[in-house]
Amino acid sequence: MATAASLPQDGLPASPEAIVVRFAGDSGDGMQLTGGQFTLSTALAGNDLATFPDFPAEIRAPQGTLFGVSAFQINFGSREINTAGDAPDVLVAMNPAALKVNLAALKPGGLIIADTGAFTKRNLDKAHYEANPLEDGSLAKFDVLAFDISEKTIEAVKPFGLGNKDALRSKNMWTLGLALWMFDRPREPIHDWLKQKFKSKPEIADANIAALDAGHAYGETAELAGPLKQVHVDPVPSAPGLYRTVTGAEAVSLGLVAGAQLAELPMFFGGYPITPASAILHHLARLKEFGVTTFQAEDEIAAICAAIGASYAGQLGVTSSSGPGIALKTEAIGLGIMTELPLVIVNSQRGGPSTGLPTKTEQSDLYQAVYGRNGDAPMPVIAARSPSDAFEVAIEACRIAVEYMTPVMLLTDGYIANAAEPWKVPNPADYEPFPAQFLTEPRSEQLLPYKRNEKGARPWIKPGTPGMMHRIGGIEKHELTGNIDYSPDNHQRMTDLRKSKVDNIVVPDQEVCLGETSGKLAVVGWGSTFGPIHRAVDNCRAKGMDVSHIHVRHIWPMPKNMGELLKSFDHVLVPEMNTGQFKTVLRDQFLVDAQPLTKTSGQPFQIAELEAEIGKFFDDIPGNEGGQVPANDQQLPSTEGGAK
Amino acid sequence: MNAPAKIETTLKDWETDQEVRWCPGCGDYAILKAVQRTLPQLGADPANTVFISGIGCSSRFPYYIESYGFHTIHGRAPAFATGAKLANPDLDVWLVTGDGDGLSIGGNHLMHVLRRNVNMQIMLFNNEIYGLTKGQASPTSREGTKSPSTPIGSYDHPARPAAFALGSGARFIGRGFDVSKNLPDVLKAAHAHKGAAFIEIFQNCIVYNKDVFNDFAAPKGAEDRQLWLEEGKPMLFANDTKGIALNRETLSLEVVDVTDGDWEAAGVIVHDVTNRSVAHMLIEMPFGPFPMALGVLYDDPRPTFEDAVIAERKKASEGKEANLAKLLGKGQTWTVSGTAQDPV
């Protein structure tokens, strides 16, 4: 064991309110798996948590390279956790590249756990290190624990007769064992999981368990030696009930299944593989007993067209993709709007344009969702704010689609899709059903497939219904019969009717989720920026700033009270992971002077950067002259204000 | 067969009140009539029949048939039809497409609906031109076709619809032309085939590609230029004075003379609709030295896509309960006290 120079700070507190750990290694090192299992054990320990998996687009990027680094960050605590954390307290670096890529994020005085076995000349070269950072004193401002995890793993799994290459694959379990010890977590759930995962290869299960146990035992021994100590994070007080962890992709899938059940419809899901949306197809493919048909189409276009075809035939059509795939589906979305059939389109946004950043997150498809079609083609758009919220939003998307006979776009993003959080398991009986109504007999002497109800929705008539034969299509149609009708007056009326149907969709009034309903500053967000904005606003309010957080779920149409609400604040700040798209929509709809705060680095907002921007509106607050908020301030539990 | 119950209808029952908007004299009128004549003979139920189309002259077809109809977007009709069939496999689906819609913008979807073998009838109206956009060369236009987009003559090699279909895995290939009296028989055979049935229908665009099929479709001398294939019958034409034989040395087809009706002596082969190799040769048979092969060229059913999807869903659901509450609480859960529970 080696430790770096004397510690500049006191290291980790013995029982912090919250702590951020980042596991980083080669994309083949199993960091996502390690992080996932650590998340489970953290959830079982009753902490609130948020995670941020950050991995390369390549499946097996060349070993040891900087671009092949895969990381998994988790923030967990004894208070409500809103984000995956700005800066890690602990960085586990499985090789030099992982250290190099992630070091900048580490908090000063943070703990580095490094595998010296991977800090070979070859790996140091690949990471462009001229000298070994573990030895040259460059990490002096951190607390460093460096030892040969590779060797210790090989030693631990020796009894199972694995070759070195196979033995080294258990390195991540050794590391996980150490982390479990460090945060005082039981090993049993991981043992059970390993036994289940390697059911058909018990020797592999045993080797991994041995590695895990060895890492755990190493922690105990190392503690005796000094620098490594156990950290206790108390459980968070939460409402009574049953909990589990859930990722956004799982929650969307479950929400769609629930939505179809509430609509009393079988679900048809048309999909085409694309990162980061494929996980939804994978989840739903395993839920066939719920009346779900999944169809992996030949392309994105066929995926949505098949979904529309299924809706036409009386099922709930759903399709899912990410930006480039949504672009391909756009013409079909227009047909869905023209023929007024229910359809849910899930967009797991990623960095763009074009192929962009397949595995990184962004919110830059908002224009595409709201405005991005040929013709006047209004479509409801709603956005999920977190993994668990994606369940609620998916149900809401199904409701709007079925009740208003319209395509609906549900926006999530790469962060929500992959991130996990604890979820209080909902009771399906608590949701109001919205059973689909099919028209089976003409309402008048003449069949009128486009005669609308009080919601502006046309009737849903399934082919196969006797005596109700009619034709629909993408050509402008007569406002009642649906027959082809290009006449000027009719097109004007139909354009107006399609617009007013969507404009008048009933959505709940906009609430202020933190702070007053009027005042100096409203920070308005949508989607996955909820967490950092909420925490930043909370922190600023604790410092005496008159700031409120408004989080918008219904992007289109927006709640009826939105304009009035925004106008009751002196300033409106809109943080977004794009170049200011929602800001434009707010200005367009309400003529408010919404100010953008934008970020397009592929990484979520940090709480500190939001606090700094909010602070600029409050020069009069003592200690905030010039709006300077110290970076990483909110990460230090001792200075954290306003925690719930 | 598609429709479970046979319904009695007349041609009139399949006519809509919509004004037909094709050019006067267009071959589409004849195809429409042939289909409207065929449907009563099939005992088809208008309420259970769905015509799905893409974009183009041919794709206006659904508006003129008194059944359910869906006029979709350019090239994508096979995908809509696949979704509709998976949602309700009992629907009797007819797909209407053209050479531009089906082979250019929609070639991908046509390939996949054929290889998946979704049970439907696919009518590709081939007029070797883009009609609705005013006469540009299409993927089936012959080399040298002069059009607004190819003023000096086209130079790309034409696609061969039936060869494309067979190569994509189609298990039924039929061919006919707009005014042919045999077209209803081809349509009936396609309907009787369970799976994706591909029918290439040569259609005369009288405005932009007039009489381009006259070389074999013109009534005068038709018997010399058309080979109507019938299951179990020798491949004879020209009033049974000529036939198609297999040259066993070159493994290719040849035209042979038949004297006194003794086709066996001339080596004329008997049509076996399940013979994929011969089907391939018939499809590729160049018109000119050979007659145009028409009728049912190939018919060898195999299990359909929707049957496989239903079987898989049934298998995957076996012994499983669709309990949403249980599904939501699946996996490793805990209560607020922090105790791990066994998976529900």
Q: Which residues contact A227 (CB under 8 A, 6 or more apart)?
A: A3, A7, A11, A143, A145
Cβ contact A514:A537 at 8 Å: yes
The three-class DSSP label of residue A574 is strand
- For residue B202, the surrounding DSSP H or E stretch is strand B196-202
B1 has a chain A CB within 8 A of its CB = no
Separation in Å, CA of B111 to nearest CA in chain A = 9
**Cβ-Cβ contacts under 8 Å, A343 against chain B:** none
Q: Answer yes or no: do B327 and A287 touch at CB < 8 A.
A: yes
A446 has a chain B CB within 8 A of its CB = no
Cβ contact A412:A390 at 8 Å: yes
Query: Which residue is closest to B115 within chain A, CA to CA?
Result: A298
Q: Is the peptide bond before A557 cis (omega within 30 degrees of 0)?
A: yes
| pLDDT at residue A2 in the model | 37
B116 has a chain A CB within 8 A of its CB = no
Q: Long-range contacts made by residues A67-70, C-beta under 8 angstroms, separation at least 24? A: A68/A26, A68/A27, A68/A97, A69/A24, A69/A25, A69/A26, A69/A27, A69/A97, A69/A98, A69/A101, A69/A102, A70/A24, A70/A25, A70/A26, A70/A27, A70/A29, A70/A31, A70/A32
Q: Answer yes or no: do A484 and B91 touch at CB < 8 A.
A: no
Q: How far is A99 from A91, CA to CA, in rounded Å?
A: 8
Q: Which residues contact A259 (CB under 8 A, 6 or more apart)?
A: A316, A344, A394, A395, A397, A398, A399
Cβ contact B306:A268 at 8 Å: no
What is the total residue count of chain B?
Answer: 344
pLDDT digits 0-9 by tens, A115-150: 999 999 999 999 999 999 999 999 999 989 999 999
B286 has a chain A CB within 8 A of its CB = no
Buried (b) or exposed (e) across B112-139, using 16+ Cβ within 10 A? bbbebbbbbbbbbbbbbbbbbeebbbbb
Q: How far is B86 from B77, CA to CA, in rounded Å?
A: 14
Token pair recorded at residue B78: 């096979």
Q: Is the peptide bond before A353 cis (omega within 30 degrees of 0)?
A: yes
**Cβ-Cβ contacts under 8 Å, B86 against chain A:** 268, 293, 295, 306, 310
If one counts every other C-beta atom within 10 angstroms of the C-beta of residue A155, the result is: 15
Q: Answer yes or no: do A293 and B63 touch at CB < 8 A.
A: no
Q: Has residue A625 got a pLDDT over 70? A: no
In this structure, which amino acid lies at residue B205? Answer: C
- Average pLDDT value over all residues in chain A: 91
Pairing of strands A381-383, A111-115: unpaired
Q: Which 8-state DSSP code applies to residue A228? A: -
**Cβ-Cβ contacts under 8 Å, B46 against chain A:** 469
**Cβ-Cβ contacts under 8 Å, A339 against chain B:** 70
What structural domains does chain B harbor? 11-212 (3.40.50.970)
- For residue A566, the surrounding DSSP H or E stretch is helix A562-567
Q: How far is B344 from B323, CA to CA, in rounded Å?
A: 11
| Residue with the two structure tokens 């007056």 | A489
Q: Answer yes or no: do A295 and B76 touch at CB < 8 A.
A: no
Cβ contact A347:A397 at 8 Å: no
Query: Which residue is closest to B344 within chain A, CA to CA?
Result: A242
CA distances, A13 to each of A9, A144, A184, A357, B246 (Å): 10, 16, 14, 37, 89
CB hemisphere CA count around A644 (13 angstroms): 10
A287 has a chain B CB within 8 A of its CB = yes
CA-wise closest residue to A390 among A432, A349, A342, A332: A349
B47 has a chain A CB within 8 A of its CB = yes
| pLDDT at residue A226 in the model | 61
CA angle (A55, A272, A603) in 5-degree steps: 25
pLDDT digits 0-9 by tens, A498-556: 999 999 999 999 999 999 999 999 999 999 999 999 999 999 999 999 999 999 999 99
Residue in B88, B317, B334 nearest the CB of A464: B88
Q: How far is A393 from A255, CA to CA, in rounded Å?
A: 7
Query: Which residue is closest to A388 within chain B, CA to CA?
Result: B328
Residue in B46, B76, B330 nearest the CB of A332: B76
Q: Has residue A6 got a pLDDT over 50? A: no
B81 has a chain A CB within 8 A of its CB = yes
Q: Answer yes or no: do B66 and A261 touch at CB < 8 A.
A: no
Q: Name residues 184-213 of chain A within 8 A of B (Cβ).
A: 189
Q: How far is A114 from A461, CA to CA, in rounded Å?
A: 64
Q: How far is B101 from B31, CA to CA, in rounded Å?
A: 17
Predicted ipTM of the assembly: 0.96
Q: Answer yes or no: do B338 and A244 touch at CB < 8 A.
A: no
B18 has a chain A CB within 8 A of its CB = yes
Q: Answer yes or no: do B317 and A289 touch at CB < 8 A.
A: yes
B132 has a chain A CB within 8 A of its CB = no
CA distances, A124 to each of A94, A129, A134 (Å): 12, 5, 11
**Cβ-Cβ contacts under 8 Å, A332 against chain B:** 73, 76
Q: Answer yes or no: do B322 and A240 touch at CB < 8 A.
A: no
Q: Answer yes or no: do A268 and B336 touch at CB < 8 A.
A: no
Residue in A298, A317, A484 nearest the CB of B109: A298
Cβ contact A522:A569 at 8 Å: yes
Q: Answer yes or no: do A268 and B63 touch at CB < 8 A.
A: no
Q: Name residues 309-338 of chain A within 8 A of B (Cβ).
A: 309-315, 317, 331-332, 334-335
Q: How far is A260 from A281, CA to CA, in rounded Å?
A: 16
Sign of CA dihedral A349, A352, A356, A360: negative
| pLDDT at residue A10 in the model | 53
Q: Name residues 335-394 of chain A within 8 A of B (Cβ).
A: 335, 339
Query: Which residue is closest to B19 within chain A, CA to CA?
Result: A484
Q: How far is B186 from B202, CA to CA, in rounded Å?
A: 13
| pLDDT at residue A236 in the model | 85
| pLDDT at residue A221 in the model | 82
| Residue with the two structure tokens 């079982």 | A44
Over the Cα atoms of chain A, what is R_g?
A: 27
Query: Which residue is closest to B112 within chain A, CA to CA?
Result: A298
Reported confidence tier of residue A264, pLDDT bands at 50, 70, 90:
very high
The residue ranges of chain B whose pLDDT is under 50 are 1-3, 338-344
Q: How far is A304 from B79, CA to CA, in rounded Å?
A: 8
Q: How far is B113 from B97, CA to CA, in rounded Å?
A: 13
- Please, is B289 exposed, middle or buried when counting C-beta atoms within 10 Å of its C-beta (0-12, 13-18, 19+)? exposed
B323 has a chain A CB within 8 A of its CB = no
Q: Answer yes or no: do B328 and A254 touch at CB < 8 A.
A: yes
B332 has a chain A CB within 8 A of its CB = yes
| pLDDT at residue B308 in the model | 97
Cβ contact B51:B63 at 8 Å: no
B5 has a chain A CB within 8 A of its CB = no
pLDDT digits 0-9 by tens, A186-239: 899 999 999 999 999 998 999 999 999 999 999 888 765 666 788 889 888 888
Cβ contact B26:B201 at 8 Å: no
Pairing of strands B292-299, B226-229: parallel
Q: Answer yes or no: do B84 and A470 touch at CB < 8 A.
A: no
The conformational region for residue A273 under phi > 0 = left, psi -120 to 50 = alpha, else beta, is beta
B63 has a chain A CB within 8 A of its CB = yes
Q: Testing the interface with B: which of A188, A312, A423 to mutate, by most B Cβ within 10 A? A: A312
Instruction: Rounding to the nearest 10 degrees, give the CA dihedral for residues A78, A82, A87, A90.
Output: 40
| pLDDT at residue A164 in the model | 84
